Amino acid sequence: MVENDYVMRIIHEMVRTLIKLLFGIDEVKEEELNFEAQESGDLYRRLRQMAKDGKINEAENLLSDVLDEQETGNLRLEYMKVALFFYDYLNGKSNEFLESCDYSREEIREGIRSTMLRYGYEELAETWGDQW
């Protein structure tokens, strides 16, 4: 249990640091979360709802498809923000919930790492690789 709490805190702090560095956003409550484009906000809400419904793998597949379709520019970075907040949302779920959805905390870490690599932050991903 203590180890699980530690892993959850490490993941949350990593996402929080990335959001601060890349977007200048301090810790934000869910109800205060804003996205620049309506479509990215809509995607985030859809991903969260799918996760709540136990369809985490399907939500992650949708996110991956959307990220693959994006072109470079601010809109693309906005989708990186969606991905980071989505993985942070999943990280807040219990191990029991994740397991019931055939998902794991390791997949959350890998999703964050994959997102960082996708957006060209290889060095940052490798730097944090040992901590998680």
* pLDDT digits 0-9 by tens, 38-70: 899 999 999 999 999 999 999 999 999 999 887
Per-residue pLDDT, 34: 81
Half-sphere exposure of 111 (CA within 13 A, CB side): 29
Q: What is the mean pLDDT of residues 28-45?
A: 82
Instruction: Give the DSSP per-residue string, 75-122.
Output: HHHHHHHHHHHHHHHHHTS-HHHHHHTT--HHHHHHHHHHHHHHTT-H
More confident call, 125 vs 94: 94
Mean pLDDT across 22-38: 77
Please state the pTM of the whole predicted model.
0.86
Domain ranges (residues) in the chain:
2-129
